Amino acid sequence: MAANEDCVIVANDITTSPIDVQELVPMVEEIKTTTGRKPDIVVADAGYLSEQNLKSMRKKRQRCLVAVRGRERTKWPRGSETQRMHRLLRLPWAKKIYRTRKTQGERPVAEIKHTMRFRRFATRGRANIRGEWDLVCAAANALTLYRAAMT
């Protein structure tokens, strides 16, 4: 799932994979398809980090900030692109932008799980689950836009 700075879900997908690494590039493409333009900057957690992802983003001239450190703490990351990202994330402007991921990127997930109490799918089959997830994301967007209109 991808959300913009207003916590509106702009792209979503489902996967059976337990890891997110292979989902970064397709999600950025989905954002382009949905919104009609590429994002100014992509901010992602360490689950999306791979040398290949960073190379792909750089090749496409897509600005991104992907956390280098997750659960495992290493002194210095391997790979030239990962080292470059590590240095980039130390800059004040990058820290400021990356900090917003907690409130902007994770908020829709919290709304879906906590406020809407959505914890599991009621249907089976990839197409049915995709349809159910699209409805859940649309409802989360409606809730977000409603709250924005009331303030």
Cα(41)–Cα(81) distance, rounded to whole angstroms? 17
Among all chains, which residue has been given the structure tokens 């590590």? Answer: 86
Tell me the domain boundaries of the chain.
Answer: 2-150
Cα(125)–Cα(4) distance, rounded to whole angstroms? 29
Per-residue pLDDT of the chain in tens (151 residues, 90 and over written 9): 899 988 999 999 998 888 888 999 999 999 999 999 999 999 998 889 999 999 999 999 999 999 987 555 556 667 899 999 999 999 999 999 998 888 887 889 999 999 999 999 999 999 999 999 999 999 999 999 999 999 8
Cα(123)–Cα(53) distance, rounded to whole angstroms? 32
